[in-house]
């Protein structure tokens, strides 16, 4: 599936869904997502995705409950827009409030949060994607990125 972004003119919409039930599935799952995103085209998207997945794992007990997996949905529209949604069923996270606080930091936000483990990942996600938002209950993140056109 790698090279997906180069085939964008032919591809109208690509949708894939994943369910992660336990921690042993994570390495194989990460590799599947890397293949979908393509290494050379979407390295930063993969970093942002990984940060969001790590947050879902850390802020939920989903992987301790085999009935409630972490759900991931990737949508690529005409090779130009990618939407990634990661959802878990337990716990919650005040992601929108934290995003607002991060976005209002004066100066270099990376210097401000360098020692705050819980904010660095969200800062990276916000810097990589064009739009980031959480559901009201804090159990789902949506990240949107408009992809740049490749030069000839």
CA separation for the pair 88, 105 (Å, rounded): 29
Give the closest residue to 129 by CA, choosing from 114, 144, 108: 144
Domains, the chain, with CATH or none: 4-146 (3.30.565.10)
Residues with Cβ within 8 Å of residue 24, at least 6 apart in sequence: none
The structure's pTM equals 0.76
| Tens of pLDDT, residues 16-40 | 788 877 777 777 777 777 776 665 4
H or E, element range at 140: strand 140-146
| Tens of pLDDT, residues 76-114 | 888 788 899 999 877 777 888 888 888 887 777 766 665
Q: What is the mean pLDDT of the chain?
A: 75
């Amino acid at each position: 599936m790698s090279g997906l972004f180069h085939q964008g003119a032919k591809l109208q919409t690509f949708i894939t869904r994943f369910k992660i039930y336990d921690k042993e599935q994570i390495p194989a799952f990460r590799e599947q997502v890397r293949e979908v995103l393509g290494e050379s085209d979407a390295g930063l998207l993969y970093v942002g995705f990984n940060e969001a997945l790590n947050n879902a794992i850390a802020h939920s007990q989903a992987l301790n409950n085999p009935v409630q997996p972490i759900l991931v949905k990737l949508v690529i529209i005409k090779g130009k827009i990618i939407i990634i949604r990661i959802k878990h069923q337990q716990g919650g996270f005040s992601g929108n409030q934290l995003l607002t606080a991060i976005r209002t930091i004066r100066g270099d936000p990376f210097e401000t949060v360098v020692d705050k483990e819980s904010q660095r990942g969200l800062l990276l996600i916000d810097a990589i994607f064009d739009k980031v938002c959480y559901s009201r209950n804090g159990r789902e993140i949506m990240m949107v990125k408009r992809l740049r056109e490749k030069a000839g």
